[in-house]
Amino acid sequence: MSVVKHFLPAVVLVMVFIANMPSVQAAEGAAESAEPNTLTAKEKADGWKLLFNGNNTDGWRKYRGKEIGSGWKIEDGALCRAGDGAGDIVTAEQYDSFELVLDYRISKGGNSGLMFHVTEDEGAPWMTGPEIQIQDNKDGHDPQKSGWLYQLYPAKSDATKPAGEWNRLRVLISPQKCETYMNGVKYNEYIKGNKDWDERVAKSKFGSMPKFGKATKGYICLQDHGNAVCFRNIKLRPIK
């Protein structure tokens, strides 16, 4: 039998494998196809739920408070930090393992953040919950860039769009693996609580905070860093 006859089946198998590989674009496709702040039939079937409906602030409250801060406003279907009196806000429910997708639009020079596994045992959310940085990478002042896990896991590239444009964050949090994607580009991968994680935390400003990153379940938090920022399409799929 010729070499070609042996080689062709292998080529076919490789082509089939590549064709069936999941992609970040496919994983985010359902979120892209829906109108802002809505769920497609597929998303509903896959277990996604909206954390913001585009019309009100139901499901959110101020950190260590009962109501949402007055500085948070609904503007054109987006949840916006629009003025003083906002404060950091957290979800009504707590989550352990999940996939989260959201769009953010940061102001020129602005700064904000997305935190997870936040508890209310300390005076500020970032003292317990790891933060995914959100900022204007061009005119922002923080050396930690948008999409980085603050002071712990940076990214090698910058896939953000300019201030004033919508960016899409996708976050996967589970005991086996955590990942962050910016506009479809994978930024980092890590395991929360393993040896590498503990070593990085010890070298960061969080090393002196005994409760930082210890919780395996907590609130999702949107940060008020004093700058204008808007969020929409905040969707979450719990992972069992």
23-238 homologous superfamily: Exo-inulinase; domain 1 (2.60.120.560)
pLDDT at 23 over 80: no
List CB contacts of 169: < 8 A, sequence separation 6 or more: 100, 101, 102, 103, 104, 114, 132, 134, 147, 180, 181, 182
Measured between alpha carbons, how far is residue 107 from residues 85, 96, 154, 163, 164 in Å? 18, 31, 22, 5, 6
Mean pLDDT computed over every residue of the chain: 90
Question: Residues of the chain with pLDDT > 90: what percent?
Answer: 85
Structure tokens that stand for 199 in this block: 């070593």
pLDDT at 171 over 60: yes
Over residues 58-75, the pLDDT tens digits come to: 999 999 999 999 999 999
188, 128 Cβ separation under 8 angstroms = no
Q: Sorting pLDDT into bands at 50, 70 and 90, what band is 89?
A: very high
pTM over the 0.95 mark: no
Q: State the pLDDT at residue 5.
A: 45
Q: What value does the mean pLDDT take over residues 195-199?
A: 98
Q: How far apart are CA 175 and CA 66, in angstroms?
A: 30
Q: How far apart are CA 146 and CA 169, in angstroms?
A: 10
3-class DSSP state of 120: coil
Structure tokens that stand for 45 in this block: 């079937």
Q: In what order do the strands lie in the sheet with 219-222?
A: 60-62, 89-91, 219-222, 111-118, 131-135
Q: State the pLDDT at residue 235.
A: 98
Beta bridge partners of 98: 173, 238
Q: State the pLDDT at residue 240.
A: 87
- How many C-beta neighbours within 10 Å does residue 223 have? 26
Q: How far apart are CA 110 and CA 137, in angstroms?
A: 9
Could you state, in order of their start, the residue ranges of all structural domains in the chain? 23-238
Over residues 90-113, the pLDDT tens digits come to: 999 999 999 999 999 999 999 999
pLDDT at 9 over 70: no
Q: What value does the mean pLDDT take over residues 3-9?
A: 42
Over residues 25-36, the pLDDT tens digits come to: 434 544 455 699
Q: Sorting pLDDT into bands at 50, 70 and 90, what band is 24?
A: very low
Q: What value does the mean pLDDT take over residues 16-28?
A: 40
Q: Which of 3-17, 48-62, 82-96, 119-133 has the lowest mean pLDDT?
A: 3-17
